[in-house]
Amino acid sequence: MPRHLLIGALILLVVQSYESQENRDFETSITNSDLYREVSLLASDQMQGRLVSSPENAIAAEYIEERFKSFGISPASPTTGYRQLFNVTTVKLFGENELAVKSNNNSKILTFSNDFFPEPFSDTGTVVGEPIFLGFGISAVELQHDDYEDVDVTGRIVVVLEHEPNEFDPQSQFSGVVASEYGRSRRKTLEAQKRGAVAIIFIEDVHNHTPRGTLTGLTPYIWPEHPRRTPQYQLSSWVNEIEIPAIRISSDQGEFLAQQTNRTLQEWASLAETKGGVTTIPIPNISLSLKISVSRETTTVENIIGRIEGTDENLKDETVIICAHFDHDGANGNQIFNGADDNASGVAGLLEIAEAYSLARKNGRRPRRSILLAAWNAEEQGLLGSWAYTVEPLIPLANTTAVINMDMIGRNEEIPTGGGYRFTGLSPQTAQSNENTVNVIGHSYSQDLRESLETANTGIDLDLKFLYDNNRSNLVRRSDQWPFLYHKIPSLFVHTGLHPDYHTERDTAEKLNYNKMARIVRLVYRTSWKLADSNTPPNFN
């Protein structure tokens, strides 16, 4: 069926099934049955898992846009309408990738895959230079940590550890046990580049992690021999910033470099934990020669964003964002990752909230501040849609007073004993014990925002859990509220929790708890209205 006919059929199916809501209270327009219909459509086999850049992902985007139009929601941009376009990039190996170590007239050729590989964001280039060990390669003066203090790395190859100091210490200045932005390899590469380094080399942090020895098991994941079913996209604006080669070497090869300084790699890693930053360790009598060859390919995708203008002339330029991501993991032949809970549930909630605001507007009621209704794309690729928005916001971030993100709001949290890596940091619990609970993540960044949500919960009476802001699950950084928290905007992640069907073909529409889901969506609607209508915006702690 042609796309425009399919979109029309989907909308007709939903619109015909809605009851007349002329006399309903606006909040009560959010119903179990309406949510079920939206989820069933978005998570149907026909939508093939809504993989970013797929035809079905484009259909989902168009469907959300048409629903906004049907509710009379205005486009967020006067130039591009409801669509905020952004570019994403995939990277492939291209030509030869080589690394040689020269010491005392001897030369050692390292083996690609076993000993080294380029980082996915690396630039192409040929470099010869002397290496210098700089601990974690972090410059965070505001946290009293600077591995670059009093050192000139111009023309040098910087060697650093992955991650960050005190990684598993709840009291760490680097966001406790949550992985901070300072630990990102791309950020470390930009820091080295800014300071004049010609390349950067990453080594496993063997103080906080068990060393792999070689990279043989990891390389096929980073650089698979055959194209991935789900392409590994990166935000193009980020990739394009990188202008130096960035490579990872094995802990075995890191051990060799450390030994040239009469230390072990473990001693290097322990020294890197030093409060305030490591003392620079030159690596004498060593020269590195590297050649990195990668190619980049760019694709354009879109967020879908609508706007409800506020009524107050002094406040309508400020905005509250309500959001959810609409992409998921696609399909593998007949195995379809429908993504009902993740995140057709959040999108259904977003559309129901759009309808409630639309009904209020038709009855002459709007909040004082404006509302943005944002359906993000490419969340499963690393929150790329929401990051892209913060790079080029439609409303200045300084005027964004709060964000509420709905991601996986349809199930009961269920953490199996021995559930594996997916459930790191989470205590075993049953679905039955969480029939009335919803996790609120990001609460510790704004007490005002937490109190607004708690007040709005009066009469809805969900059991709000405030557990995961400083947790090894890293949930606070795993959905689209994080880019806004990073920019110090009060933001909440409303989330009913992980479960064994998460990111499997078993995440289907009939398994969602629509009664609970409707109450959650009403809670978000109430909270957003309260925030948009208040005299003062919430503070960021």
> Does residue 254 have a pLDDT over 70?
yes
Our CA angle for 136, 196, 92, nearest 5°, is 75
The type of residue at 234 is Q
How high is the pLDDT of residue 518? 98
Residues 220 and 79 in one domain: no
Cβ-based neighbour number of residue 383 at 10 Å: 23
Scan for tokens 């399919």, then name that residue: 6
What Cα–Cα distance (Å) separates residue 473 from each residue in 62, 177, 409, 423, 445? 33, 9, 18, 7, 18
pTM score of the predicted model: 0.93
Q: Judge if the upstream peptide bond of residue 343 is cis by omega within 30 degrees of 0.
A: yes
Q: Is residue 414 part of a domain?
A: yes
Residues 489 and 352 in one domain: yes
* Radius of gyration from C-alpha coordinates of the chain: 25
> Does residue 419 have a pLDDT over 90?
no
User: What's the number of CA atoms in the CB half-sphere (13 Å) around residue 121?
Assistant: 22
How high is the pLDDT of residue 11? 57
Q: Is residue 346 part of a domain?
A: yes
Q: What are the tens digits of pLDDT across the range 474-533? A: 999 999 999 999 999 999 999 999 999 999 999 999 999 999 999 999 999 999 999 999
Cα–Cα distance measured from residue 260 to residue 285, given in angstroms and rounded to the nearest whole number: 8
> Does residue 19 have a pLDDT over 70?
no
CATH number, domain with residue 402: 3.40.630.10
The 3-state DSSP class for residue 86 equals strand
| φ and ψ of 525, to 5 deg | -60, -50
Nearest Cα residue to 116 out of 36, 243, 205, 202? 202
Tokens of 236: 């193009």
β-pairing verdict for 437-441 and 281-282: unpaired
Residues 390 and 485 in one domain: yes
Last residue of a domain, one of 292, 318, 335: 292
Residues 288 and 305 in one domain: no
Last residue of a domain, one of 257, 292, 327: 292
Tokens of 296: 């980049």
pLDDT category, 17, cuts 50, 70, 90?
very low
For the segment 391-413, the average pLDDT, to the nearest whole number, is: 98
How high is the pLDDT of residue 335? 97
| DSSP 8-state secondary structure symbol assigned to residue 520 | H
Cα–Cα distance measured from residue 146 to residue 70, given in angstroms and rounded to the nearest whole number: 53
For the segment 23-35, the average pLDDT, to the nearest whole number, is: 83
Q: Is residue 259 part of a domain?
A: yes
Cα–Cα distance measured from residue 434 to residue 415, given in angstroms and rounded to the nearest whole number: 11
Residues 499 and 472 in one domain: yes
Last residue of a domain, one of 269, 292, 315: 292
Q: Is residue 402 part of a domain?
A: yes
176: left (phi over 0), alpha (psi -120 to 50) or beta: left
Q: Is residue 39 part of a domain?
A: no
Q: Is residue 19 part of a domain?
A: no
Residues 211 and 263 in one domain: yes
For the segment 353-376, the average pLDDT, to the nearest whole number, is: 97
Scan for tokens 């650093």, then name that residue: 160
Cα–Cα distance measured from residue 56 to residue 51, given in angstroms and rounded to the nearest whole number: 7
Residues 287 and 349 in one domain: no
Residues 261 and 138 in one domain: yes
Cα–Cα distance measured from residue 97 to residue 178, given in angstroms and rounded to the nearest whole number: 34
Nearest Cα residue to 374 out of 399, 395, 398? 395
User: What's the number of CA atoms in the CB half-sphere (13 Å) around residue 540?
Assistant: 14
Question: Which domain does 370 fall in, by range?
Answer: 73-87+300-533
Mean pLDDT of the chain: 94
How high is the pLDDT of residue 174? 84
User: What's the number of CA atoms in the CB half-sphere (13 Å) around residue 222?
Assistant: 19
> Does residue 175 have a pLDDT over 60?
yes
Sign of the torsion formed by the C-alpha atoms of 154, 155, 160 and 163: positive
Our CA angle for 62, 66, 68, nearest 5°, is 120
Strand partners, 306: 75, 373
Alpha helices in 363-481 (DSSP H): 384-391, 447-456
Sign of the torsion formed by the C-alpha atoms of 221, 338, 441 and 68: positive
For the segment 441-461, the average pLDDT, to the nearest whole number, is: 98
Residues 462 and 504 in one domain: yes
| DSSP 8-state secondary structure symbol assigned to residue 340 | I
Edge to edge, the sheet with strand 286-292 lists 106-109, 98-103, 286-292, 125-129
Residues 271 and 330 in one domain: no
Tokens of 341: 């809970």
Q: Which residues of 113-137 are buried (b: 16+ CB within 10 A; e: fewer)?
A: bebbbbbbbbbbbebebebbbbbbb
What contacts 136, CB < 8 A, 6 or more positions away? 147, 160, 161, 163, 164, 165, 183, 188, 205, 272, 278
Q: Is residue 193 part of a domain?
A: yes
Sign of the torsion formed by the C-alpha atoms of 117, 121, 125 and 130: negative
What contacts 162, CB < 8 A, 6 or more positions away? 183, 185, 202, 203, 204, 205, 248
> Does residue 2 have a pLDDT over 60?
no
Q: Is residue 11 part of a domain?
A: no
The answer to whether 29 touches 352, Cβ cutoff 8 Å, is yes
Tokens of 1: 């069926």
What contacts 364, CB < 8 A, 6 or more positions away? none
The 3-state DSSP class for residue 90 equals strand
CATH number, domain with residue 181: 3.50.30.30
Cα–Cα distance measured from residue 511 to residue 496, given in angstroms and rounded to the nearest whole number: 13
Give the count of domains, the chain: 2
Alpha helices in 313-464 (DSSP H): 345-362, 384-391, 447-456
| φ and ψ of 102, to 5 deg | -110, 130
> Does residue 13 have a pLDDT over 70?
no
Residues 513 and 388 in one domain: yes
The 3-state DSSP class for residue 292 equals strand
How high is the pLDDT of residue 3? 61
Lowest mean pLDDT among 97-111, 282-296, 353-367: 97-111
Which H, E and C letters describe 112-153, residue by residue? Answer: ECCCEEECCCCCCEEEEECEEECCCCCEEHHHCEECCCCCCC
What contacts 522, CB < 8 A, 6 or more positions away? 27, 30, 460
Position with higher pLDDT, 355 vs 1: 355
For the segment 231-237, the average pLDDT, to the nearest whole number, is: 96
Going through 261-390 in order, the beta strands assigned E by DSSP cover 281-282, 286-292, 294-308, 319-325, 331-332, 335-336, 370-376
pLDDT category, 340, cuts 50, 70, 90?
very high
Residues 336 and 258 in one domain: no
Strand partners, 349: none
Question: What share of the chain has pLDDT > 90, as a percent?
Answer: 86
